[in-house]
Structure 1
């Protein structure tokens, strides 16, 4: 990003003026962006993330951040002047790790400056970048905004919109912060580390391009054995955000998934499966009936399906989740149309059915609720006398609700 952009004005009197956007010192950039950085904390749990003010609608302040920072949580927003705000709205991209949060200031206009958005297409390897955010501080409740320096290590296209990697001393809590070029303009939204990218992509290898598979293998080698030293960080190019803003009118997940995340983080897989079933009933408004019909499933909230799936994928290191089940089913030739052989092969592959023509579908009590289970074995979801996908298909074979569920997770891009 060592560039100098200039423009010329030729007025009628024949004079010319030149204005150039020159690189700024790191101190100048840090001071310029400080009042635009927002601390995003959670009302019902510990942890936090970062966001930053961007241009938006009149009457609200608009905060751009990473989707995984806000999804499934109740938020508090704190600005640099230590004021706390409640969220006015939260919208998340269905397929990018991006989200927009708004809050209403006291006056008509947002009093916090929006950051200037740069040109991420001009970013090159070795370019210097800066990241601002709120890293975790072990043993301290006070969070201090940090401003760190790094350099671009690579440019690639990965899932969820990631496209710029860099070496920088970032820590948990800085996700969603701005990645800035040497003129102080935003070129990316800071997101995940190699280790997190690997966990996300390992369950999706069947659908990756050869280039993406190569990138995944390189990242996996860097984090082999759980060692995360000298790994790279990744950001979503700001041009990707600008080109995909139509999702800002889409709703975020309806339910709070704090408890589900806690159960998954603790490795309580069976309890997490039960919580997943309860949340699906809650989202569909079917707590009284205790089951979903095909219509409920075809119209099920896409943001909630994605929120639950991402938690399962994250805490199982890519082993469990609706998306993992979908990819295995499709790899066996499965489509929206029923095929008895494909459905049997799928159930055998994920361990819901004993292998062979005479093999039986397992009872719920016979399933394996630990990470030794076959890939895609969980979640199962059990309601009212049935289990499997949406509480109906484990031992009972195929049904309209199973077809509806596979169709919905495909439509929702889970």
Structure 2
């Protein structure tokens, strides 16, 4: 009788203890949204400019690094139409190295044509280069969580305009306006992988630049700007287009890259964080196995932080 009376309560207690940590672990899988200027800092450390000998140019982002001997081999992800020509030379202008001492400046690196890999059936390409410097690497996110209304940021180096008459890094905010993933059902309608659209300001020269989510992870590669009469690749280095832009721009989701090239992480040394975004600027308290407030711990409170971006200004930012 002694054995039977106490066996069941003991088992229940053990089960309760085992379940509680699982719930906390699941909650921690979300990645906290960060401020726009923090995402901008990530972008400035990872985005590159790509120029051709023909005078065209675009953008790209460093997504991986592997070590071979004493050399660092970096991989840039960009739009394939930025490096479409096989008869010209390309060079990349890197971000400022994180291990830079003394003079802090960007580095110009000539690209060997054999180091450009065009990814089949989609407007994406990878460029590899060697360097003794240490550059920051962008983290690849999960584009499936970038649904309509999600805040996103686009970064790159647009061609000079009337007022901004030199090439300068630009970082713009907006939101996902549409998901066009239904086109995956028919490969003939895939539009080179451009299955996601957003409201960010973009200009020619920003093609190949990254689209970041609110946690600073790359969820797409920018490459098209919609126009009333679309000219294919108008967001490429030429900037040609017959009519004004509609305000919608398009990118290729990172999940498309993973479907075509599932071993990207191992191939190029990429960092991947596929967790959803927690948009709460106030970190919630964690309670383990109890509702008693005495055991709750609050940390990194940011209730007074400004909003991630001002959605009221999006409609005003539709023209170049």
TM range (shorter): 0.5 to 0.7
Point out which structure has higher relative CO (alpha carbons under 8 A, 6+ apart): 2
TM-score, normalising length from structure 2?
Answer: 0.60
The answer to whether the Cα contact below 8 Å between 2:154 and 2:222 also exists between their aligned partners in 1 is: yes
* 1:196-243 deviation digits (Å, cap 9, x = unpaired): 994449xxxxxxxxxxxxxxxxxxxxxxx9432334110000010122
Please show how residues 10-409 of structure 1 align to structure 2 within 5 Å. 19=28, 20-42=30-52, 44-58=53-67, 59-72=72-85, 73-81=88-96, 82-88=106-112, 89-106=115-132, 111-138=134-161, 142-156=166-180, 157=183, 158-195=190-227, 198-200=230-232, 226-245=242-261
**Which secondary structure does the structure 2 equivalent of 1:27 belong to?**
helix
In 2, are the aligned partners of 1:189 and 1:236 still within 8 Å (CA)? yes
Alpha carbons of 1:226 and 1:86: their partners in 2 closer, same or farther (altered >3 Å)? closer
TM-score normalised by the chain length of structure 1:
0.47
Instruction: Give 1:175 shift.
Output: 0.3
- List gaps (5 residues or longer) in structure 1: 1-9, 202-224, 249-414
Q: What is the SS of the residue equivalent to 1:135?
A: coil
**CA 1:196/1:113 → structure 2, altered by over 3 Å: closer, same or farther?**
farther
Please state which structure has a larger fraction of its residues in helix.
1
Cα deviation code 1:318-369 (max 9, x no counterpart): xxxxxxxxxxxxxxxxxxxxxxxxxxxxxxxxxxxxxxxxxxxxxxxxxxxx
Distance 1:192 1:164, change over 3 A: same
Q: CA deviation at 1:50?
A: 0.3
Q: 1 or 2, which has the higher strand percentage?
A: 2
| Secondary structure, aligned partner of 1:232 | strand
* SS, match of residue 64 in structure 1: strand
**Structure 1 position 247, deviation (Å):** 11
Do 1:38 and 1:80's aligned partners in 2 also have CA atoms closer than 8 Å?
A: yes
Does the 8 A contact of 1:93 with 1:247 survive in 2?
A: no
Shift in Å, 1:113: 1.5
**Which whole-Å CA distance do the structure 1 matches of 2:136 and 2:217 have between them?**
13
Query: RMSD over aligned Cα, in angstroms?
Result: 3.0
Distance 1:197 1:121, change over 3 A: farther
Shift of the 197–115 alpha-carbon distance from structure 1 to 2, 3 Å rule, reads farther
